[in-house]
Amino acid sequence: MPDEPNSIIRVYTPLVAVAAIVLVVDQVTKEWATGLDKCVDLVERPTVGFCLAHNEGMAFSFGWGSGPIIAGVAVLIVGALLFSARKVPLGSRLLMGAIAGGALGNVLDRGFRAPAPRSTNSGFMSGAVVDFLYSSFWATFNIADTAIVVGGLLLAVALWRLPDPETDPDVASPDGVLNTGASAPDADTDTSTITP
């Protein structure tokens, strides 16, 4: 039986809402960061602050210049998250939304921002991702990266701890309704003779 419209809305609304929030916050903060003309240290040791950087690769600049491939993989991951969302509880769907919003935030950069300064790349998806969160002990990153990494780690833990519906009859369905493993009595069944 196909999913009812209300069920689809109930499953996807939280995921899409979180993705939209992450996407907006990511793009607004990146736009703010493009106005930075120098690095700003918030904490001296270890150094933590804001410093504008442009990245045409992945984390730690791996795959520099591979924007179309990275964007394609990101879109496939978002598609896989949407496909899987119906099978997991609400908390996992919220984390999937954070990952999807972060992935789409970086895809938007690749599609609509200019390449990195002094870059020789041009063409489809050759824009540089704006990074601005800086620390002396880690690579420069952004809100999208944070949503992807934190959301991914928490989702892995949540899915690892998720009970197996085939071995545990008391598993919550994706819409949050507890499945006790027992079927409800038919409307024609005389419940007055049923004993607990």
* Predicted local distance difference test score (pLDDT) of residue 137: 84
Q: Residue 121: its pLDDT value, please?
A: 75
Strand pairing report for 171-172 and 178-179: antiparallel
**Per-residue model confidence (pLDDT) at position 171:** 52
Cα gap 42→135, rounded to integer Å: 10
Has 26 been annotated as catalytic? Answer: no
pLDDT reading at 52 higher than 90 = yes
Mean pLDDT score of the chain:
83
Q: Worst-scoring range by mean pLDDT, 46-50, 107-111, 130-134, 192-196?
A: 192-196
145 in active site = yes
The three-state secondary structure class of 125 is coil
Q: For 141-196, what is each residue's pLDDT tens digit?
A: 999 999 999 999 999 999 998 776 565 555 555 555 445 444 445 555 555 554 54
57 neighbors 121 (Cβ within 8 angstroms): no
Task: Quote the tokens at residue 47.
Answer: 């150094």
**109 pLDDT tier (thresholds 50, 70, 90):** very high
Catalytic residue among 145, 170, 188, 190: 145
Q: Where are the beta strands (DSSP E) in the chain?
A: 40-43, 48-55, 129-135, 138-141, 171-172, 178-179
Domain borders along the chain are 5-166
Per-residue confidence (pLDDT) for residue 67, from 0 to 100: 75
Give the list of residues 6+ apart from residue 90 with CB closer than 8 angstroms, or none. Answer: 14, 174, 176
Q: Are the C-beta atoms of 47 and 41 separated by less than 8 Å? A: yes
So what's the pLDDT on residue 178? Answer: 42
End-to-end CA distance of the chain: 32
| Residue type for position 106 | N
Task: Check residues 85 and 124 and name the one with the higher pLDDT.
Answer: 85
Enumerate the β-bridge partners of residue 41: 49
The confidence band for 49, taking pLDDT boundaries of 50, 70 and 90, is very high
Percent residues over pLDDT 70 in the chain: 77
Q: Could you give the strand order of the β-sheet that contains 129-135, starting from the edge strand earlier in sequence?
A: 40-43, 48-55, 129-135, 138-141
Say which residues have a Cβ less than 8 Å from residue 143's Cβ, sequence separation at least 6. 22, 25, 26, 29, 30, 102, 105, 133
Tens-place pLDDT, residues 18-28:
999 999 999 99
* Residue in 131, 170, 188, 190 annotated catalytic: 131
Question: 163 versus 114: which is more confidently predicted?
Answer: 114
- CB-CB neighbours of 127 under 10 Å: 24
